[in-house]
Amino acid sequence: MAASTVFSGVKITWLGHSSVMLEADGLVFYVDPYVLPPGSKTADAILYTHGHFDHAAPAPSITKSTTITIGHNVKLPVRSIEIGGREKLGGVIVEAVHAYNLARPMHPRDAGAGYIIAFKTARVYVAGDTDFIPEMKGYKCDIAIVPISAAYTMDELQAADAIAAMMPKVAIPYHYGYLTEAKGDPEKFKAAIDAKTGGKVDVRILVPSSR
């Protein structure tokens, strides 16, 4: 297994935990760059899902004078975005969507966001910290990157339910295996998706580049 995969012209790299790098259309996007291996590429855009320490980490090593940084409810110098808001970043449309816990208090409604990033050739959904929520049934994406740790997010089976509701072409698990409490079994996630979708979703398991 590798740290990166490519689908429809979009390269996805799992850096570790909540941190993802997306490359497409000649641009480099990061989501929640809490984990940054040495020598990471500079960013055209940085997106923060919420203000917890393992997501909203300052990232001077990847920031240049033209980097656009946006976030929802983060205490960093960013361009603020509300749920349902859209930003055009270098020709790419970024939409902030809901991300919250249904019963647990850690991530209340509207405290955090996920993002749907519309590149020219594919729409990428990065879920952030969330449960399987009703709004997901309306999310249109080609690639879905979802948490499976069960620590304040979906577990593997709930994440598989979310994928079955959205039916992306590609599903990638993340947000597990880095912090002690963030457990998760990607093979269990894959097996559940295969069972629920009849193998119609391509599940790609990545190994963090930070290892």
Angle 81-86-92 (CA atoms, 0-180°, nearest 5)? 120
Mean pLDDT of the chain: 91
What angle do helix axes 186-197 and 156-166 make, rounded to 10 degrees?
40
- Measured distance CA(180)–CA(111) in Å, rounded: 24
Is the CATH number of domain 4-203 3.60.15.10? yes
Angle 94-96-98 (CA atoms, 0-180°, nearest 5)? 150
- Measured distance CA(57)–CA(74) in Å, rounded: 10
Quote the DSSP letter at residue 134.
Answer: G
- Measured distance CA(203)–CA(144) in Å, rounded: 10
- Could you tell me the pTM of the whole model? 0.94
What are the boundaries of each domain within the chain? 4-203
Quote the DSSP letter at residue 60.
Answer: G
Q: How confident is the model at residue 20 (pLDDT cuts 50, 70, 90)?
A: very high
Cα separations in angstroms, 163 against 50, 93, 200, 211: 22, 22, 11, 27
Largest CA distance in the chain: 47
pLDDT score of 149? 87
pLDDT score of 210? 63
User: What number is the average pLDDT over the span 5-24?
Assistant: 96
Top mean-pLDDT range of 85-89, 180-184, 207-211 = 85-89
pLDDT score of 182? 63
| Rg of the chain over all Cα atoms, to the nearest angstrom | 15
